[in-house]
């Protein structure tokens, strides 16, 4: 998961340095009853976000790599998407975590309880061998820490690591799109802002992690606005046609670009659907009976 730049560089980047730390043990999936409880914790918020899904039936029952767009801050919609997949398909999604997450006590334990795995190449391979459903965001932390005017842009750069691993393991890729969270917050200060930008660039150079932008949500506060969430899942993209060409950069780029085009189509589809959604208004969502 999620989504991850430095921790998931092995899955998202073709240029990243090799990770020096050994692969972490893959935590077992929580029991079904525990996942049900985690999903239940989100129900009060579901009255506000009222997630709307398209194409969830496209998810293979036996393993796939979900690849999509990261919205601002990442955590505003990903838990809801994972919960909806569980409710509709009983598929537990394994997120790939940044190394930075694992440096924070308690937080790392909470993520592990939710099924997150440290995002190394070896860990991704292990998950694929087990036929698990994995989510990766090639844009990583750069896409999470959006700047002004970057709503729904795919900031993938030249990252092709996820494509290499999918080809290597013959793993199907399901492109997905998420819309709604990027409207919850407005970026008011970012790396292009004088003074703050200099500090942010220095921090990134030292920590290998972008500085979060300063945002505004409800009024002048950073509280996210109560937008509705929309998720789209495209048809699986097979990788068998590439054979064993995972070391072939042109093959990995071709697959990445195919996935990227599909994600952009999904984003536009969701934005069009949202524009004509009569329940986008919060009051109407709250008054409507749960579906």
With tokens 């998931």, the residue in question is 8
Distance CA 16, CA 10 (A): 7
Helix and strand numbers, DSSP H then E, in the chain: 10, 9
Share of the chain above pLDDT 90, in %: 55
Distance CA 17, CA 12 (A): 12
Q: Is 38 exposed, middle or buried (0-12, 13-18, 19+ CB in 10 A)?
A: middle
- Residue 16: CB atoms within 10 A of its CB come to 18
pLDDT band at 8 (very low <50, low <70, confident <90, very high): very low
Q: Report strand pairing: 173-179 vs 64-68.
A: parallel
pLDDT tens column, 135-169: 999 988 788 888 888 899 999 988 999 999 999 99
In residues, how long is the chain? 291
pTM assigned to the model: 0.85
| Position 193 in a domain | no
Helices 161-169 + 249-275 axis angle, to 10: 110
| Position 97 in a domain | yes
Structure confidence at residue 156 (pLDDT): 92
- Residue 90: CB atoms within 10 A of its CB come to 11
Beta carbons within 8 Å of 235's beta carbon, 6+ residues apart? 55, 58, 174
| Position 21 in a domain | yes
DSSP letter at 154 equals -
pLDDT tens column, 31-72: 889 899 989 999 989 889 999 999 999 999 999 999 999 999
- Residues facing residue 237 across a β-bridge: 173
Distance CA 140, CA 3 (A): 6
pLDDT tens column, 81-105: 999 999 999 999 998 877 666 666 7
Phi, psi of 178 (to 5 degrees): -130, 130
| Position 53 in a domain | yes
* Domain limits for position 32: 9-183+227-287
For the chain, how many structural domains are there in total?
1
Mean predicted confidence (pLDDT) in 11-27:
47
| Position 192 in a domain | no
List, in sequence order, the alpha helices (H) in 15-133: 32-49, 78-89, 107-113, 121-129
The maximal CA–CA distance of the chain, rounded, in angstroms, is: 54
CATH number of the domain that residue 62 is part of: 3.40.1130
| Position 216 in a domain | no
Instruction: Name the E strands within the chain.
Output: 52-54, 64-68, 93-97, 117-118, 133-136, 173-179, 186-189, 214-216, 230-233
More confident residue, 113 or 95: 95
| Position 65 in a domain | yes
| Position 262 in a domain | yes
């Amino acid at each position: 998961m999620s989504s991850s730049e430095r921790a998931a560089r092995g899955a998202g980047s073709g240029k990243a340095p090799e990770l020096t730390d050994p692969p972490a043990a893959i935590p077992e999936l929580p029991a079904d009853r525990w996942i049900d409880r985690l999903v239940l914790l989100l129900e009060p918020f579901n009255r506000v976000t009222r997630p709307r899904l398209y194409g969830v039936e496209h998810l293979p029952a036996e393993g796939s790599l979900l690849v999509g767009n990261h919205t601002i801050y990442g955590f505003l919609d990903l838990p809801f998407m994972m919960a909806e997949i569980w409710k509709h398909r009983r598929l537990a999604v394994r997120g790939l975590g940044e190394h930075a997450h694992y440096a924070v006590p308690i937080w790392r334990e909470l993520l592990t309880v939710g099924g997150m795995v440290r995002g190394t190449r070896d860990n991704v391979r292990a998950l694929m061998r087990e036929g698990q459903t994995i989510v990766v965001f090639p844009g990583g932390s750069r896409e999470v820490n959006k700047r002004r005017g970057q709503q729904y842009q795919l900031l993938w750069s030249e990252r092709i690591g996820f494509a290499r691993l999918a080809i290597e393991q013959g793993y199907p890729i399901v492109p997905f799109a998420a819309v709604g969270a990027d409207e919850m917050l407005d970026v008011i200060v970012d790396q292009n802002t004088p003074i703050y930008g200099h500090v942010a660039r220095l921090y990134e150079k030292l920590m290998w992690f972008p500085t979060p932008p300063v945002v505004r949500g409800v009024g002048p506060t950073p509280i996210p606005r109560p937008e509705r969430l929309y998720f789209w899942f495209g048809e699986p993209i097979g990788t068998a046609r590439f054979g064993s060409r995972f070391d072939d950069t042109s093959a990995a780029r071709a697959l990445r670009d195919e996935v990227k085009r599909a994600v952009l189509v999904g984003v536009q589809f969701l934005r069009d659907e949202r524009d004509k959604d009569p329940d986008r208004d919060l009051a109407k969502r709250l008054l409507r009976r749960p579906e």
